[in-house]
Structure formats: C-alpha cells, structure tokens
Structure 1
C-alpha cells in the first residue's frame, strides 16, 4: 500500500487561447499527498491549484502526465475510487426551499447511503438544531458546513476542499478550521486548497507550495518553515543606543527598530544577554524573529502575493 493517497507525475494542462497559441496552467506537476491528516495546497492566484483538482476528479482532462488517486490511475480508474472520495470544488447546488436535512436526505438516497448517515454527518458538521431550517435562510458558514456534510455522506477516505473558508466571517472561519482539523484527526485525508497562509499554517500537517503550475516546495509545515533561517532577534533594553554600541563592539550587526534593536544572524541569543549584562544592562524583551509560512511562500514565489480576501478562483483560462 502506497503512503500517498494522491500522486501526480509530469502532469500538464494546456488551454488554447482565443487568439491563438496556448496557455500552460499546469506544467510538469509532481504532487504527493501523504495518507492521513490535512495537506495544504498553496499557491498564487492562477498557479494551477483548481485546475489540478479538477483533473484529479475527472472534470478536466490532462494534456500529459499521470495521476493516481488512492492507488488507482485516474481518470481511467476513477469510477473504482469515487465512492471513497468527497470533494467541494465549486459552490454546491442545494434546493433553497428545502431544509438542510431534506437536501441531504435526497442526496443520500441518490447515492444509496442509509438514513442514519444523514444524522451522523449533520452532527459531525455541527448543524444539529438547524437541520430543519430552509437552506435559503442559512448563513454562508452554515451553507459551507452543509456542503461538507454532503461530501461526507459517503464516509470518504479522501476529502478535497477548494477554498472552504472563502467569504466567511471570523466565527465561520474558526468553525470550518476546527471541523477540518477534526476530520484530519479522525483518519480522513484532507487536501485543503487555500489562499490564506495563516489558515494553512494553523490547520495543515503538511503542505505543497506551487507556482506557475510547478511544485516549489513540499513537506510537513514544520519542515517548510524550518528551511527558512530566522534572520535575527529583536531586543528591548532601557538604553538602546548604548546597547547598540556594546553589541556592535562584540561583532554583532545591529539596526535600530523603533524602541527596540534588531540583531542580525544570531546563532545563540544568550550571547546578547551576556554582552549586555556584563555592562550592567538587562534585557526586558528578547524575541527571535522566527520564519513563518508567509516568509517561505514569498521567497519561493519571488514575492508574488496572494489576495487578502476573495476567491482564488483560477480557471486558468486566458
């Protein structure tokens, strides 16, 4: 049994431009999603994330390359594994005048799951007590939870979510994040495509960062962040100017940073406290400038940022 539930090799997708020529949305993509937990799929707008997901689900045909989902070659063997895969790629279509429960019951009947499964997924996504309300009265966060409930009806081994917190308020984002964490901890492998860097760092166990349709880096979130060398330490002291001269005399590179000092390339922060203490100065604050996923992302993508809000909806068509 492979350790990866999703694998692509040399995956390529080209679109024809209206005025001639080709647009390459995915270029030689090698993606490997480990079994279990939550895997983030991160990249700038138009980097090929949604196109890759659509190819994995048989909604778009690749130009070249191979894909495997739960060990089966797709799209050729997709019917063999679709009962084990749940996905939300585009906004689900529910009947607005029907209740949340009735929408799920109709869907469950169409795919042959028992009625008891509807109760289970409603509980899983936290919609008990609101399942009797009409869908049109649901908030955006409730609609997203109902969509996830629908994707869970089949008890999937793999759940693919494309921007699940898009457009939600802070409370809704918090609820969906917790739900995704719980699903990953329960044994479901979740592939989470997101443009929110903090979301990936808070929720995901591992991640793949892509740009221009290619993998730029992949691994556990801890590994990705750890590859960035923390550039320095921020220090607060009662006499910053005197402290700066003392540290510079000790061979350290120091830059004033408001009411603090920024000391570059410090391997051992204890050296700072030692130099200052020997001169009778005592540190009131010493904070390592740790790398985060945003720094990793910006370095890998050459500073190409992600939108602070709004859907990263990359149809990748010119």
Structure 2
C-alpha cells in the first residue's frame, strides 16, 4: 500500500467566533487504515471531519489530502466521500432513486450507473428495501444508505460520523464487514464514534481530541500499553481459591472479592499486564479453570477517560 500519507495536518486551527474548535492539530493518516476519532462533546471531532470533507476550511495551519494541499475555499477534495451529522437524503425518493440522483449529480448516466447502484445497496444490505422511500427508513437504515452513497465514488478516503448509530446487530456486522474490506483494499477510513467497542473492533489506530487539541494519536496497542493498570473481571471454577492466589500475587490488587456477573461470582482485580499474566499462570498451575478474564472498562475507554480528565485538570 505504500507509506504516502492520505492526510497530513500540521498546526491546523479553526475558530468560530471566540470559540476555538481546533487548536494546532497535527494528524497523519496512512492508506489502508481504519482510524478512530474520539473525544468528549465539543472536542472538535465534527469540525475536523468537516475539514476533511471540504465542508469547512482551516483558519491557519497546513492540510494535505491525498497529496494535494487544501486551499482556503470550500471544495470537496477528489477521492473523498462520507458524511457528518448523518447522511443527507431525499425523503420522498426510494433508496435506489436517492443513489441515482447522486450519480446524476456526478454526471453519470442512469442506465450505466444502475449496476453500481445495485451493487452498493447489496453491499450495505439494503437490496430488499431498494424501492422503499427513505422517509420510512429507520436511523440505522439511513446510515447504511449514506454509506452506500459514499461507496458509489470508490473513495480513497472515507469519512464517517457515528456510522453505527441506530444499527441492530445484523446491520452493525454488515457495516463492519464493508469497512474492513475497504481498508484491506487500500481505502483509509476515518470514523468518529462514542462507541468504544466499535472502535476497538475496527480500528488499528485512534486519535483522542479534547478541547480542540490532540491528546493522543497512534496505534491502539500503544494507547493500551503494558504500563497501564486496569481493572479486570475474573470468572473461575474456584472463586475463593482464585481470590487467595490473586491476593498473594505481586502487582495484583483485589478491588472486589465477590461481584455478581451474569449469574456467577466474579473477582475484580487491578493490575498491569505482566502481573495479570503471572496470576493466570498461577491459576493454571493450581488447576483452576479461567472461564472469563476481561477488562471492566476497555483499555481504550480507560485511556480516553484518563487523557480527557487530565486535559480538564490542566485547563
């Protein structure tokens, strides 16, 4: 795929009156990656997505998209597609007619565009409702139709704002599959979401924004590195024996000795990964089965909370 940056931002600043939405943002995005964008409300996520889609321009700093500098005039960069604050649809048109209208706006002939339209609808799982009017669509169906519209352009950079909003489990699986395939084929995907589970399932890297500034940008495994202590929930075949082993393992702190979890008795411990590995090895040596071991709060969510809370404290 190469290492040429799909997006390169240096010192990007954007203000709305006295409100500083982005404050000196640096960002690098490479081909074939799914990049998560997270932050509390008002962090600047929507503003940054708008810059990438050409819906706004930066007040200062340098922004390059697909190797081309972005100027100071509103313009949608070639090779970029997506939506912010939900896709714009014609409610009185069917799903297929909506995509045909978008194809026509791009100068495509309705007859020649039909196979691509049908393919995009099939890709996002909307074939069965292709001739239903968009006004009757649920939020999740509208999100999938917006994704189908973006697919029509074969984007090299796909920008999505909360794409999992309103999706049922089947719809989420469908969308995740589409995004994973696009990344495997070289498309860069940027998605903003408050759903940490979606980000951890999809993203290879993440940027955390707080008050318009980048608090972290890089691989997920670096964010949730071995140096970070987390709380873990442990279900085992012998809860009392597991508690005694945990209490006697260096680097393990028992947070809660008995916590009900899915009808079973769980142990909650706080540890860094090396100490947790020692505990698991001790449990195996003691012939205690480990039925479940998982963070109480995901590594991404824990890091997000720590970084944004530190930002607020600094402010």
Normalised by the shorter chain, which TM-score bucket? 0.7 to 0.9
Larger Cα Rg: Structure 1 or Structure 2? 1
CA distance in 2, matches of 1:257, 1:176: 40
CA distance in 1, matches of 2:123, 2:158: 14
CA distance in 1, matches of 2:171, 2:222: 29
Task: Report if the CA contact (8 A) 1:44-1:304 is conserved.
Answer: no
How do 1:292-303 and structure 2 match up within 5 A? 292-302=299-309
Q: How many residues align?
A: 296
- Long gaps (5+) in structure 1: 17-21, 306-318
1:93 equivalent in alignment to 2:88:
yes
CA distance in 2, matches of 1:168, 1:270: 36
Match of residue 196 from structure 2: 197
1:240 equivalent in alignment to 2:247:
no
Task: Report if the CA contact (8 A) 1:2-1:71 is conserved.
Answer: no
How do 1:96-175 and structure 2 match up within 5 A? 96-113=91-108, 114-115=112-113, 116-175=115-174
Match of residue 55 from structure 1: 51
Match of residue 257 from structure 2: 257
**TM superposition shift of 1:286:** 7.9
Q: CA offsets per residue over residues 78-130 of structure 1, 9 Å max, x none?
A: 85x73311121133333323221122112211202341322332232222232
Aligned partner of residue 302 in structure 1, secondary structure: helix
CA distance in 1, matches of 2:213, 2:22: 7
Provide the aligned C-alpha RMSD in A.
3.4
**TM superposition shift of 1:199:** 0.8
The 1:226/1:97 distance shift into structure 2, 3 A limit, reads same
Q: So what's the TM-score if we normalise by structure 1?
A: 0.78
Q: CA offsets per residue over residues 216-272 of structure 1, 9 Å max, x none?
A: 11222233222553457748575838963x776776655352153737457355755
Task: Report if the CA contact (8 A) 2:79-2:153 is conserved.
Answer: yes
Match of residue 288 from structure 2: 283
Greater RCO (CA < 8 Å, at least 6 residues apart): 1
- Long gaps (5+) in structure 2: 259-264
The 1:298/1:238 distance shift into structure 2, 3 A limit, reads same
1:15 equivalent in alignment to 2:22:
no
Which runs of 4 or more aligned residues in structure 1 lie more than 6 Å from their structure 2 counterparts after TM superposition? 273-278
